[in-house]
Amino acid sequence: MKRIVKCFVLVLFVFGFGISLVACGETQPTLTLSNSTIINVEATPGAVENKIGQIVDPSFTTQGLQYFTVKVNDMQTNSNNIRLVIETDNSIQIIAKDKDNNYQNVTTSGWGPRAGFELKSEITTFYVRASKSGVFDLKAKLVDMNANNAVISEKTQKIIVAESF
């Protein structure tokens, strides 16, 4: 895994001689998933999407959908090629609105351009839709596209889907 290191130089003057001390510490971006460790949703038919994950259902709305947020902190990497990958069961859609106001199923498309994007502090809201009941893991990972998709940070959350249709 790619390490991100920040170093500070402290210069001390002892009897007229300068002494430099270098203190290094690892700083990595962190992911935070909101709400709790469990997301409770009711099963509903999935939103219609194209093969790249864009929601093409004209009646799609986020009204009434459960959601969680992903907060990314401490972006002190030197990479402009970071991506957020969300993995879960294929019956679950994790949906977010992109900068062009299109909804994307992130479990199909990933989040951000395929080549990655510059990492900066931000909070993104993701909506959950599930077509079958059960208990599922959701794993959110920040990956560095410049380092063969090395995982920089990851978090796991449970999704509990109750049958409703």
Residue 65 lies in a domain: yes
pLDDT confidence band for 4 (50 / 70 / 90): very low
- 17 domain residue, yes or no: no
What is the signed CA dihedral for 140, 121, 108, 146, rounded to 10 degrees?
Answer: -90
Answer yes or no: is pLDDT of 17 > 50. Answer: no
- Asked, for residue 76, whether it belongs to a domain, the answer is yes
- DSSP assignment, residue 101? S
Residue 5 within any structural domain of the chain = no
Per-residue pLDDT tens over the stretch 104-133: 999 998 888 888 877 777 788 889 999 988
Residues in the chain: 165
Domain count, the chain: 1
The structure tokens listed for 78 are 């030197």
Hey, CA dihedral for 26, 28, 32, 37, is it positive or negative? negative
Tokens of 30: 């962190």
Q: Is 15 part of any domain? A: no
In a domain, 117, yes or no: yes
Q: Are 117 and 80 in contact (CB under 8 A)?
A: yes
Task: State the residue range of the domain holding 143.
Answer: 29-162
Kindly report the CATH number assigned to the domain that includes residue 109.
Answer: 2.60.40.10
Domain for residue 34, yes or no? yes
User: Does a structural domain hold residue 130?
Assistant: yes
